[in-house]
Structure formats: structure tokens, C-alpha cells
Structure 1
Amino acid sequence: MTARRACPPAPGPLEGYAARFDDLWCSLAQRRGFREYLAGLLLPRDRNKTLTCLAGAEPVAGAQNAAVQRLQFFLSESPWDHERINARRLQLLLTDPATAPHAGGVLVIDDSGDRKDGKATAHVGSQWLGRLGKTDRGIVTVTTCWADERLYYPLHAVPYTPARHFPKGKSDPGFRTKLQIAAALARDAQAARVPFRAVAADCAYGDQDAFRGELTTAGLPFVMAIKPRRGAWAYGDEAYSLSMPPATSRGAARILLVTGVRSRARSVTGIPPPGGPPMPSWAGGARTARPGW
């Protein structure tokens, strides 16, 4: 077998990290593209979501620069399995003592939207973009993140594809809502053996009965915001709805804690009555929520 050609190294200690992915790439061009992409993301540049910035080229005018074209080919044309790459990244995080997750952390579920003009790009549609605080044309990605009081890092990310991209719209078998994607990502984290004490999310997810039900079916406790107008969907005796301090705005939220998973559910409001089951140890301390959470 012909020996692999040496790849130009990534800057400094980044090479040691990039080299751990080399066996997942089938060509020198891919190994080089991966290193250039990592370096572009980490360098202190503005607009590091554009190819010209990632490659250190002039915006717009530098689109035909050789380094930009190499990155374009690597990201959009070169065949590679993103799930294998992400699995290797998670393996490195889970086995490194400095980043290894523990059972005291939480799994944070959220989505992030970026504005995008045109209609040709995959996953583009008119939808709510939380970053902009309005409905606009863009791409939304549902993500999971492991976090504790010391550090946090992303686990999985899946773009949401609006119904218009499917032949049968929302009734198409391939269509998935953001809530369905989020529930699947929580199960993916569980399958990857990432330890965490609870799933955390804002009221965009906490208000959804079906979503909370899927987490319960998967055996995952959760801590979520719910809007003030709602009660709490409680599971068994180990569920609590914690009212916030006197609201300073109409947007003040309430936190729902579910620590145990039971097959029967009941609807409750307020806080546990006197003489009820004790609060779970991890639920101690003050709980606050910013307006609009």
C-alpha cells in the first residue's frame, strides 16, 4: 500500500488535535481542508461563518481565491460522513479528564437561527429566528449542549427543514418538527453515554406537552421554563412547579422540575403542598428566570 503523503500541519497545538481525525479522511485534500477549516474557526476574525473570512480572504472580491475554493470543495463537494467526525469529537471530549462530562451536569436543548437570503439553500425558510427576535428567512439548527458551572460544549446539531422542502409538506414522512428533532437529540446524548442530571430548556420547549412526554418515555428528568398562564405537567409524586418571585414583567416564567418518571401523569399548579415529598437535593437554591425566558 502506498504511504500517505504528509499534510501541511495546522498551527501550533491544533495539529495534535487535527491528527486524531486523519484516519477518517480519504485524501490529502480533505486532511488539509479540515485543518484550514479548524484554524479559520478559531482565529480572531469577524464573520467567521463566511468562507472568505475562514480562508483569510477579502469579502466578496476574494471569493475566487484558491484557499476559499479549497474550503468550498471540502465543505460542499468532498464526500465525508459528518456523523463519524462528530462521534470522534465526542469520544475525545468524553475521554479527556479536562472535559469529561459527569452526572452533575445538564443537557441543554435550544435552537439557533441565522438569516439567509434566497430559496435555493437547503433548510432555508421563513421562520422564527430567536437571534433576531422576529420571523424572517433563514436557517434554524436544533442543538444539544452539555454544561456545568465550569464549562460547556455542543454535543449534536441538526438543521430544521421547513415543510415546504418536502413533497407532502407537514404530512410527509420525512418531515420533523423542532420538538421531534430535540427529543431525538436528547436520546442521542443518552445513547452516547453522556451523563447528566436533567434536560434543560426554555419555555419554547417546556410548554409542549408532547415534547415533555417524549423525555419522560425515554426516562430523562428535566428542568424547563413554562409560561405563567400554564400549570405544570407533573409526573408522579416527584414533580414540582416552582413559582417565581413576584413578577417584574408579564414575561416572567415559572420553572418546572421533574425528577422522577412515572407512567401516570396529572396536571398541577403552584408549589408542592405542605407535608408533600421533599425537594430533590439537586433542586435546592434560588430559582429565577429573566423576563421573556
Structure 2
Amino acid sequence: MTRRVPCPPAPGPLEAYAARFDGLFSDLAQRRGFREYLAGLLLPRDRNTTLTCLAGTEPVVGAQHAAVQRLQFFLFESRWDPEKINAHRVELLLNDSATASHRGGVLVVDDSGDRKDGSATARGGKQYLGSVGKVDRGVVTVTTCWADKRLYHPLRALPYTPAHHFPTGTAAPGFRSKLQIAGQLARRATAAGARFRAVAADAAYGDHHSFLHDLGEALLPFVVAVKPSHGSWAYGNIRTPLASPPWL
């Protein structure tokens, strides 16, 4: 068996963490790219969503820098499995006594949207974007995050693909609504070993019976917000959650 070539270490204590993922990468370039990517995300830089900033170079003019090109190759061309990387990250979190989940925490389901101009971006479309608080052109990702009073950490994220990307729209076999993705992520969190008291979500999810039914079938308790106009059933009367008579 060929001995692995040593990889330039990540800064400080980050190396000990990065080394735990080495078995999931096939060559030196991938292991080096992973370390540079982690460092770029964690260092105090202004725009760690761009390759030039992740690599610590000047915007635009630094795009041809060797460090930027390495990150470009690592993130978009190199063959490694992001599902395995994330699964191992979650496994490390859940097995560490400092970050392990427990029954006092909650599983927060939400989505995040980012504006993207033009129509060339994969999974892009005109939809509601929470980051700007309105309908605009962009991409949306559904996420799960475990949290308690002391800490929080993301578990998983899946991108949402708008219906217009499919030939038959919502009837396409591959289409998944944000509600369906959220239910899938909640079940996968349980399968991964995450423990929590309840699933928590805002009214974008709490107002939809299909999502709550999905959680119920998975035997997952939930606490969700609903809009004031959302009616709720009770013995003796029908009322909206924020418009109850004072004697109730």
C-alpha cells in the first residue's frame, strides 16, 4: 500500500479536527483543499461566501491566484462525497460530550434564501427569500439545526428546486416541496441519532397540515407557530390562536 504524502497542516487546533476527515478524501489535493476551505470559513473575513475571500485574496483581481484556483477545483471539480463529509461531521458532534444532543434541546426547521441575479443559477427562481423579506429571484435551502440554551449546531441542509425546473411541475416524480424536504430532514436527524424534545418551526411550516401530519407519522412531537388567521379547533368554540376570548 502506498504511503500517503503528508498534508500541510491547518492553522492551530483546526488541524486536529480536519485530520478526522482525511479517510474520506482520496488524495493530497482534496485533503489540502478541505483544510483551506475550513480555515476560510472560520477566519474573520468580510465575505466568506466568495472564493477570493475564502482564500484571503483581493476580490475579482485575485480570482487567478493559486489558492483560489485550488479552492475552485476542490469545491466544484474534485470527486468527494459531501454527504459522507456531513454525516461524519454530525457523528462527531453527537458523540462529543461538549456538543452531544439531549432531550432538553429542540430541532429547528427553517429555510434560508439568497438573491441570485439572472437565470443561470442552478435551482434558482422567483420565490420568497427570507434574507430580503420578499419574493425575489434566488435560491432557497431548507435546514435543520439542533439547539438548546447553551449552544446550537446545524445538522443538515438540502436545496429546494422550484417546480418550473421540472417538465411537469409539481407532478414530476422528482419534485419535493419545502414542506416535504423539511419532514425528510426531521426524520433523518432522528435516524442520525439526534435527540430533542420537539421539532420547532415558524408559521411557514406550522400553517400546513401536511407538514404536521408528516411529523406525526414519524412520531415526532412539535411546537410550531401559526398565523393569527389560522383557525384552531377546541371544545365549545372555534377561535384563532391570537384572538381568543378573554374568558378562555
What's the TM-score once normalised by structure 1's chain length?
A: 0.80
- Classify the secondary structure of the residue corresponding to 1:154: strand
Classify the secondary structure of the residue corresponding to 1:35: helix
C-alpha contact 2:232 2:241 (8 A) present in aligned 1: no
Greater fraction of residues in helix: 2
Contact 2:230/2:241 (<8 A) preserved: no
Deviation at 1:63, TM superposition (A): 1.1
2-structure distance, mates of 1:233, 1:193: 34
Cα distance in 1, alignment partners of residues 232 and 20 from structure 2:
46
Query: Structure 1 residue 148: deviation in Å?
Result: 0.3
Matches for 1:281-292 after TM superposition, within 5 Å: none
Partner of 1:63: 63
Q: Which amino acid aligns with 2:180?
A: Q
Distance 1:233 1:123, change over 3 A: farther
Q: Who is 1:42 aligned against?
A: 42
**Structure 2 match to 1:150:** 150
Aligned length in residues: 245
1:107-122, aligned counterparts within 5 Å?
A: 107-122=107-122
Instruction: Mark the CA change 1:183 to 1:169 in structure 2 (over 3 Å): closer, same or farther.
Output: same
1:94 aligns with 2:103: no
Q: Distance in 2 between matches of 1:30 and 1:155?
A: 23
Q: TM-score, normalised by structure 2?
A: 0.94
Cα deviations by residue, 1:34-58 (Å, 9 ceiling, x for unpaired): 0000000000001110001000111
Whole-angstrom distance in 1 between the partners of 2:181 and 2:31:
31
- One-letter amino acid matched to 2:3: A
- Checking the alignment, whether the CA contact within 8 Å between 1:18 and 1:35 is kept in structure 2 is yes
User: Deviation digits for residues 220-256 of structure 1, max 9, x if unmatched?
Assistant: 110010011112378xx9xxx9955x8xxxxxxxxxx
Counterpart in the other structure of 1:204: 204
- The aligned counterpart of 2:167 is 167
Distance 1:161 1:270, change over 3 A: farther
What are the equivalent positions in structure 2 for 1:105-144 lying under 5 Å apart?
105-144=105-144
Aligned amino acid, residue 204 of structure 1: A
Unpaired runs of at least 5, structure 1: 247-268, 274-293
RMSD: 2.1
Identity fraction in percent = 69
SS in 1 for 2:225: strand
CA distance in 2, matches of 1:46, 1:118: 24
**Structure 1 runs (4+) greater than 6 angstroms displaced:** none
Decide which moves more: 156-165 or 179-188. 156-165
Report Cα offsets for 1:156-178 as digits up to 9, x if no partner.
10010111222222211101110
Label 1:186 to 1:61 Cα distance change in 2 as closer, same or farther (>3 A): same
